Structure 1
Amino acid sequence: MKIDRALILTIILVLASIAFSYYLWVFYMVSPWTRDARVHADISHVASQITGKVKRIHIKTDEQVNKDQLLFELEGTDQQIALDKAIASLERGQFQLKLLQDEKQRLQGIPGNLVSEDDRDKANTSVKEQQAQIKVLTADLSQAKLNLERTKIYAPHAGYISDLDFTRGQVVTPGQQVMALIDLNSFSIKAYFEETRIKELAPGQKAKIRLMGRDDIVLKGTVVSIARGINNNNTTKGSQQLPDVQQTFPWIRLAQRVPVTIVFDDQQQVQELHLFSGSTASVVIE
């Protein structure tokens, strides 16, 4: 019996088409997926805690730094002077306390009929007041030492320097953000799934992640959390202090997008890639 090759080839193509169609149906209709995902990283906004002029900058933009690495330092002349004053004030206070304690002891050694009880009470009160003053001066000294230490600013964690926004000689003030430090070990994925697919998601599920422009690489991840709330635009008020309700069409109901956090399974692989916070990704939940 002669086999019709054309018939066999047609059957194979039909079966392949059915299999491919089933794969697409599972991919798009069964497996939760989204193309709306972003790479996320924790960012520390580095700032000085004191006012000072920048003396030296030890890093540059996009440089990788280690935890506790020196980032920049301020001129510490004012802080050193304040420290010297605090030391001198404490020493003077201690000398004064010694004099008052000696006077108190001297009065206690005099017979009662030669010194009034009021004088003894005043001497005792003066010693207690000076002891309290010593505590204040000690605290001032600790603050002066701390301010001198704060002239050197160190990295709170390992990461990448971004948005270096100051120069040598510039005066910085407390709380003024001068750079961003992207946490080296905090890269994750924020995937936005339609609310109609949320029931299919749960923490612990595995995910495949593809980065835009890096289709040759498939990263593995795990769902760790699903957001419990998103912003409600209808809660804002208009000029008349009334709810600003958004207009909708009864026959069109757009599904809201819910953030889902996914962590990478292989952190070593992530470190080798040039990831940057805010880049685009696609996610498929297995």
Structure 2
Amino acid sequence: MQVAKKKVVQARIVTLLLVKLALALVIYVIWRLDSAPRTDDAYVYADTVNVAPEVSGRIDKLAVKNDQLVKQGDILFSIDSRPFEATLAKAQAGLQTLNAQIELTQRSVNAQKFAADAAHSSVERARAAAEQATDTLNRMAPLLNPGYVSAEQLDQARTAHRSAQAQLQSAVLQAQQAKAAVSGVEALLAQRAVLTAEIALAKLNLEFSTVRAPFNGRVLGLTTAAGQFAAAGRPVFTLADTRRWYVVANFRETELVEMAPGRHVQIYLLTAPSRHFSGIVESVGHGVYPDDGGSQDAGLPHVPRSINWVRVAQRFPVRILVDNADSELFRIGASAVAIISEHPSHFR
């Protein structure tokens, strides 16, 4: 009887210890989740760009393959450059022709300026002669009545005066015509500026015919080959930036209270669970599109009816910058696990 009671007491003690241990374990798990939130709703992400040519043409050389790693400055593909070379040669030839035309025109302009200067000198001589004839006539006119000069001499002076005035008027008209005949090269210089701009654009298009990697990255989504016509601005493939890798982890809104930029994060990939990676919280999402509710109809909020009274916490994306990412293991969209550290660190 005593042995049975002793066994019952021992069983109760063991049960009580197990209950306390389970309670302590639950408390620890809750504390751990509160102090170090974690989620497996996370995926790997990297910045990407759509590689598109600046000019249109047929691809004559494709220097990369799908999923290939490339370095900044490497040739990705090139477009047939012959049309751009021809355009450049045409513009350069046009500029040479225009320069020769400007030189000849400038010589003609210089000759016209010399003629205008000569005509101006003729005007000055004719004006001087007219002034002298006027002075002579004015001096001789009072001397006619006293008989110091004859009427014939006075008539000769008047004739000389009229002739000098006519020559002055003729010289003035010739000078005006010579001045008006002086042209310029301003229009040709404006054409040269246009051709210079066309040459610069042709050189730029020729340079654009070779597409190079803007950064170290990996080629993704390449489904074309040499010979394909590439249109300007239309992507040929995608280039992922392998210099910086991120993990976008969706945490519940109740876990975002102290999740500010700078928190240290432990990261694991499902493809390599034994590898440990570290990261830093770079940003915390501040907006998501709600799955239900929130829409408005005729100015009133619309909240759909539901018999499910369980409120599920919304999740917000947290962007985590990975410190020691392995480009061979990290793939865009790969599943990951993110564990926030207990103590915040400074954002770097």
Query: Where does residue 245 of structure 2 map in the other structure?
Result: 187
Change (3 A) 1:166 1:222: same
Change (3 A) 1:180 1:99: same
Query: Where does residue 36 of structure 1 map in the other structure?
Result: 41
Question: By how many angstroms is 1:227 displaced?
Answer: 2.1
Does residue 1:253 correspond to 2:258, yes or no? Answer: no
Does residue 1:117 correspond to 2:188, yes or no? Answer: no
Does residue 1:280 correspond to 2:335, yes or no? Answer: yes
SS in 1 for 2:326: helix
Tell me the TM-score normalised to structure 2 length.
Answer: 0.70
Distance 2:40 2:314 in 1: 15
Distance 2:266 2:24 in 1: 21
Query: Where does residue 214 of structure 2 map in the other structure?
Result: 156
Matched letter for residue 285 of structure 1:
I
Distance 2:62 2:36 in 1: 50
Q: Would you say the 8 A contact 1:235–1:243 is kept in 2?
A: no
Pairing of 1:77-226 with structure 2 (within 5 A): 77-110=82-115, 111=118, 112=120, 113-114=174-175, 115-120=177-182, 123-124=183-184, 127-226=185-284
Question: By how many angstroms is 1:100 displaced?
Answer: 2.1
Change (3 A) 1:23 1:253: closer
Distance 1:32 1:16 in 2: 22
Q: Structure 1, residues 53-81: CA drift from partner, whole Å, max 9, x if none? A: 11111111111110000111121121111
Q: Would you say the 8 A contact 1:190–1:261 is kept in 2?
A: yes
Question: By how many angstroms is 1:161 displaced?
Answer: 0.8
Structure 1 or 2: more helix by fraction? 2
SS in 2 for 1:166: coil
Matched letter for residue 316 of structure 2:
V
Distance 1:94 1:20 in 2: 90
Alignment length (residue pairs): 271
Q: Structure 1, residues 2-35: CA drift from partner, whole Å, max 9, x if none? A: xxxx99xx69978865664443222334432222
Q: Would you say the 8 A contact 2:253–2:316 is kept in 1?
A: yes
Change (3 A) 1:147 1:204: same
Distance 2:245 2:17 in 1: 45
Pairing of 1:51-66 with structure 2 (within 5 A): 51-66=56-71
Deviates more, 1:62-71 or 1:228-237: 228-237
SS in 2 for 1:41: strand
Structure 1, gaps ≥5 residues long:
1-5
Matched letter for residue 179 of structure 1:
F
Q: Would you say the 8 A contact 1:32–1:200 is kept in 2?
A: no
Distance 2:189 2:46 in 1: 51
Greater Rg over alpha carbons, structure? 2
Change (3 A) 1:12 1:219: farther
Q: Would you say the 8 A contact 2:242–2:327 is kept in 1?
A: no
Matched letter for residue 117 of structure 1:
K
Q: Structure 1, residues 209-248: CA drift from partner, whole Å, max 9, x if none? A: 121232212211111111232235667789xx98894625
Q: Note the aligned Cα RMSD (angstroms).
A: 2.9
Structure 2, gaps ≥5 residues long:
1-9, 121-173, 342-348
Deviates more, 1:21-30 or 1:191-200: 21-30
Distance 2:303 2:60 in 1: 53
Identity, % of aligned positions: 28
Query: Where does residue 271 of structure 1 map in the other structure?
Result: 326
Q: Structure 1, residues 161-188: CA drift from partner, whole Å, max 9, x if none? A: 1111211111111012111111111211
Query: Where does residue 49 of structure 1 map in the other structure?
Result: 54
SS in 2 for 1:134: helix
Change (3 A) 1:141 1:44: same
Question: By how many angstroms is 1:204 displaced?
Answer: 0.8
SS in 2 for 1:105: helix
